[in-house]
Amino acid sequence: KMTDSFRQALLDVAFHVSQDNRIVSEAEIKVITLGLQTADKPSSITEPKHHQILLSLHPSQRVDNTNHDNPCLFFFLLYTVLELIPVILCTAILHPEPKQRDQLLNILFNLIKKPDDDQRQMILTGCVVFAELAGADRLVEELLPQCWEQIGHKFVERRLLVAEACGALSSYLPAEIRSSLVLSMLQQMMLDDRDEEVREAVVRSLGLLMGFICDADKYVQGYELLMAALKDPKEKVHRAALQVFLPALGMWSRELGRLEHHLMHNLLKHLEDTVKGAVAAQKVNSSTSLPLNESRFLLLLSTLEELIPLLYLTVIETCPSSSTPTEQIHVD
């Protein structure tokens, strides 16, 4: 089985929330404190002082980090808005009315018009904190729809946020949602999105997802998405596939007993076809040089190289031990 340490390594490579993160600690403290207060006075969480200011942040008023005349004012506003994340989280977690919770989570996901890398990490950290404190059911019912609604957003930064959220939240989702809705969302973005940064983020999130999917029937779909990533025209996508997606799918294929007979076999077949195609073209053109697609050839070699440690581990686990009686060793 895929070990917890391997899954944690996937999370560290693709997305990592530090336990020292101020958003995490402040949100937890606020939820506990406000939760104790509302236990004595349940109506207090719905009072204006706790949520009306947050709900007044209409999407049209969110911080635009791409168009500002006064840099000092912009950074002050940005700092102020990001400071609201723990407050938004605890209010969204504890508020008894679904409609108000939906509005608050919409504010969280839309705090910044075009969030950069660091800003997306802060928003994603907030999403992870919500998942940890609110639970899987509310994550699916309340937060995941915020991702789905922006899957085709006109801004690249917002689509990046969606792609990264699918990976960051994968370990907190129910198994059936991971292998159905989230996988479908990532597949759609992988095949349809024209921006290479979005596809790179999708590939990283697919790697995280493969680390937590339990439905063996989805293995073939995962393999097809890996091949789509390896055929992508952009090197960024290839790199993400080699660093995150391939190791995760390789480990899963090993669990299923399909590492040697499917994954590596098919990659070797693609490598062989690449060489055969070049040889055939050389003969047709009567050329003295081999018209080999070197980048494709080297990429396929790299995939096989990445899988060697898993193959070695499989050999060690399955080979007869020195203590095995000779008569029990069968060689086909």
Q: CB neighbours of 282 closer than 8 A, spacing ≥ 6?
A: 289, 290, 291
DSSP 102-132: HHHHHHHHTSBSS--HHHHHHHHHHHHHHHH
User: Which residues sit opposite 249 in a β-bridge?
Assistant: none
pLDDT at 42: 45
> What does the pLDDT look like over 43-81, one tens digit per residue?
444 444 444 444 444 444 444 554 445 444 444 445 566
Q: CB neighbours of 232 closer than 8 A, spacing ≥ 6?
A: 196, 199, 238, 241
CA 5 and chain centroid, separation = 17
- What pTM did the predictor assign? 0.81
Tokens of 247: 């190791």
In which region does residue 173 sit, left (phi positive, over 0), alpha (psi from -120 to 50) or beta (all else)? beta
> What does the pLDDT look like over 121-160, one tens digit per residue?
889 988 998 999 999 999 999 999 999 999 999 999 999 9
Residue 161 and residue 150 in contact, taking contact as beta carbons nearer than 8 Å: yes
